[in-house]
Chains A and B, each alone.
Chain A
Amino acid sequence: MRRLRRSMLFVPGNNPGMIRDAYIYGSDSIMFDLEDSVSIHEKDAARFLVYNALTTIDYGDKELVVRINDLGSGLGLADLEAIVRARPDVIRLPKTDSAEDVLQCEREIARIEREAGIPLGQTGMMAAIETANGVLHAYEIATSSKRLIGIALGAEDYVTDLKTVRSDGTELFFARNMILNAARAAQIDAVDTVFSDVNDEEGFLAEARLIKQLGFNGKSVLNPRQIAPLHAVFMPSEKDLAKARAVVEALEEAKQRGSGVASLNGKMIDKPVAMRAQYLIELAEAGKPATMGEGV
């Protein structure tokens, strides 16, 4: 089954309490941060902590992502040296402005994989686009590497670059559409930015509905409290779900008949309809209480 990325929980790399049990909150992905949430004095400690967490803690089936410092900061390479060896699913690059940023990082990852005896290409990548320049190069970035599983919008730096501030999302409209369209053209995922005011539940919900309608796969979240409402937004309605189930059943039936063409209520089911139905069912499955499975 394809991996859902409705929620990517942000965990500061210098917070052992959160790192230890970040898997209990039910997010699809966990993103350990070595970048902006870690002060310059704690970079080494956070890197060490995240490395050890990844190599000792059982995070179950969560997708594990580590946001490194950018290579230009002088910290990024040390981050890669440690973290790639801990075998996370994905390395997230901050402040990606060009394909070259991705490729430069990919070369280092490949080298470390070879040195550490990790199958080449196992480490996925994700690029966060956080500048006006980056947004203009979104497609070039999205198609730069086979390792990329998605691109993301980092809105805080981006609005500063635009000389504005965040409001109802009007200011992000162009960037969101650029990134989303680039991701879809490259057939990878698109992940939206964080919503910083964790106490503004209404504002968060409005933004979640907006980005779902635009077509994003999901959002980064700052606080575990944002996960359940976000997943609820992505939960298909009973009506849509029933339709999707009927589509899948019709497809199954056609397959058993040995027929390549399936139809429902007299209408042929074409490929996009079939894909959308499958995606809705996956979302619904993921929406079940899955935070605590049988057998812990």
Chain B
Amino acid sequence: MEWDINAIPHINEIPAQHGVFTGASAKILHTFNERMHKDNKIVGSLREAIERSGLQDGMTISFHHHFRNGDYIVNMVVDELAGMGFKNLALAASSLTDVHEALIPHIQNGVITHIETSGLRGGLAEAISDGLMDFPVVFRSHGGRAAAIESEELHIDVAFLGAPSCDPYGNANGYNREEENGSCCGSMGYAKLDALYADTTIILTDHIVGFPNAPFGIPESNVDFIVCVDSVGDPKGIMSGATRFTKNPKELLIAKTAADVIEKSGYFYDGFSMQMGSGGASLATARFLREKMLSSKIKARFALGGITGQIVEMHEEGLVEKILDVQSFDLVAANSLKNNRFHQQIDASFYASYSNEGAAVNQLDFVVLSALEIDTQFNVNVLTGSNGRIRGAIGGHPDAAAGASLSVIVAPLTRGRIPSIVHKVNTVVTPGSTVDVVVTDQGVAVNPLRGELAKRLRDNGIPLCTIEQLQKKAESIVGDPEPIHYSEAIVGVAMARSNSIIDVIRRVREA
């Protein structure tokens, strides 16, 4: 009997292109090795990749900052885009640094008309503080950026992602397993999310390796084109050998005090979780905690965040069971990611996305973070300097402070003639409601919102003072700085991690 396909209920509702099976497509008879060379995602030039990406004027391009100050990718790509005549592009980088001063002429020529980033430094920060751009720069935290990408508030049309290694199908990673030399950045945490959400993802690499480049940071399923370049960055600028353990006695004093506070806080127990921000004092805190862990036989379940050699050392001696690494700060960390199976690379959303209830920051017992300024409302500024100009980066600061059960901010009371504890921060980056303890070289203050914590610390012999006392002490040493005079013009907008506006950065009026 003739089989009637139309007898199947609802068959007409299945779109026509699905059709009926008529036999396999032609079988490829090349070896895998031949296929890999003939049929892959590698294109002849950056220009060709851009042409094929569908990029148009007015669109948004993205970059990661895992190459830090050694990055060649941003300047290389924007130079090419300028040469091709693109205008009015939005540049959304996970962060920008000194080396991106080279963007200034492209901003002046209208190639780049909007910037989103975690931070700005050096010449570009200076120029933007002086009003280089008509449209304010949007500053987001790493977790805020992840949430904005996920909600399409930040839609990436084309992502240009540098990678120290990549196979012909786009499996990319922050190190190279095939040979020891070449560039290396460790985790590709911020790039992973861009690759996943961008309409088109282009990998730029200086090391094509055989398929499969496993384990990988970015999977081929998120990659459209691959461009081979001579070099993705300057290895010396990408990362240093090992983050130096500070010998500065003041930083050590602050770190020791912070470790004492943590020990007595109730959040130091067998199986705790932690994050240590970058900066001498917060990194040194890990050293003092290590001694306490050894003497009281306590282990950490995991360490999160930007990872340094110090955390790796603790992992390798069994004090930290697992490492969740969104960004590797030094070569020791990068090598550990390569060699230690419980050192896991995670993306920015996993790390800290505001829209991700299960983000790793929400599993933190405590975090130690540094600050440029802290005010008497416990608000923290890590973005603008005491002169009101942009000079830093939000990073994961507000994400970790909000997520951790105990957020500890470490800072010297004064830096030279500049007070760190002030009446009002120039820019609110991390809201005071998420900051629990401020540790300075001259006193520890607990947020009045955490009365129970203050009591616990006092009961355990940690002397406390008020944040107002710290502010007055700083003022008694360096005096009250003259107020900064701002104009109406807004050069930057600081977003809370929820991506609502938490503060604006105004242009400083010339004296």
B-binding residues in A (CB < 8 A): 17, 20-21, 24-25, 57-58, 223-225, 228, 288-289, 291-296
Contacts and interface: CB of A to CB of B under 8 A. Distances in A.
Interface string B459-500: 001111100011011001100000000000000000000000
A24 B442 contact: yes
A294 B470 CA distance: 11
Nearest to A58: B476
18 contacts: A21-B250, A21-B441, A24-B253, A24-B441, A24-B442, A25-B249, A25-B253, A224-B253, A225-B247, A228-B256, A288-B461, A289-B260, A291-B253, A292-B257, A292-B442, A294-B465, A296-B442, A296-B470
A225 B249 contact: yes
B252 interface: yes
Nearest to A288: B461
A293 B469 CA distance: 12
A29 to B, nearest CB: 17
B249 A296 contact: no
Given A292-B257, A292-B444, A296-B470, A20 B249 contact: no
A17 B462 CA distance: 27
A294 B464 contact: yes
Nearest to B254: A24
Contacts of B465: 292, 294-296
Contact of B463 (A17, A21, A294): A294
A236 to B, nearest CB: 17
A292 B461 contact: no
Given A24-B442, A292-B465, 16 more contacts: A17-B416, A24-B253, A25-B249, A57-B477, A223-B249, A224-B249, A224-B250, A224-B253, A225-B252, A288-B461, A292-B444, A293-B463, A294-B463, A294-B465, A296-B442, A296-B473
A225 to B, nearest CB: 6
Interface of B: 247, 249-250, 252-253, 256-257, 260, 413-414, 416, 441-444, 461-465, 469-470, 472-473, 476-477
Q: Which 8 A-B pairs have the closest CB atoms?
A: A224-B249, A296-B443, A296-B473, A24-B441, A292-B443, A296-B465, A296-B469, A292-B463
Nearest to A23: B442
A292 B441 CA distance: 8
B389 to A, nearest CB: 24
A289 B461 contact: yes
Nearest to B445: A296
Contacts of B472: 296
Nearest to B439: A292
Contacts of A295: 465, 469
Contacts of B476: 58
Contacts of A289: 260, 461-463
A291 B311 CA distance: 28
B458 to A, nearest CB: 9
Contacts of B442: 21, 24, 292, 296
| Interface of A, helix, strand, loop or mixed by DSSP | loop
Nearest to A225: B249
A288 B260 CA distance: 13
A256 to B, nearest CB: 30
Contacts of B413: 21
A287 B257 CA distance: 15
Contacts of B470: 296
B264 to A, nearest CB: 11
Contacts of A228: 256
A20 B413 CA distance: 12
Contacts of A294: 463-465
Contacts of B416: 17
A224 B255 CA distance: 14
Nearest to B257: A292
A24 B463 CA distance: 14
A194 to B, nearest CB: 15
A71 to B, nearest CB: 33
A20 B442 CA distance: 12
A226 to B, nearest CB: 10
Contacts of B464: 294
Contacts of A225: 247, 249, 252
Contacts of A25: 249, 253
Contacts of A224: 249-250, 252-253
Nearest to B252: A225
Contacts of B250: 21, 24, 224
Nearest to B247: A225
A295 B445 CA distance: 10
Nearest to B469: A296
Contacts of A17: 416
A2 to B, nearest CB: 23
B437 to A, nearest CB: 13
A58 B247 CA distance: 26
A98 to B, nearest CB: 37
B403 to A, nearest CB: 28
Contacts of B469: 295-296
Given A224-B249, A296-B469, A20 B477 contact: yes
A159 B187 CA distance: 55
A31 to B, nearest CB: 16
Nearest to B443: A296
A296 B466 CA distance: 9
A228 B442 CA distance: 16
A17 B249 CA distance: 12
A103 B408 CA distance: 54
A218 to B, nearest CB: 19
Contacts of A288: 461
A154 B166 CA distance: 64
A196 B255 CA distance: 24
A226 B250 CA distance: 13
B280 to A, nearest CB: 14
A25 B248 CA distance: 12
Contacts of A223: 249
B466 to A, nearest CB: 8
A294 B249 CA distance: 22
A204 to B, nearest CB: 15
A228 to B, nearest CB: 8
A57 B473 CA distance: 11
A295 B464 CA distance: 7
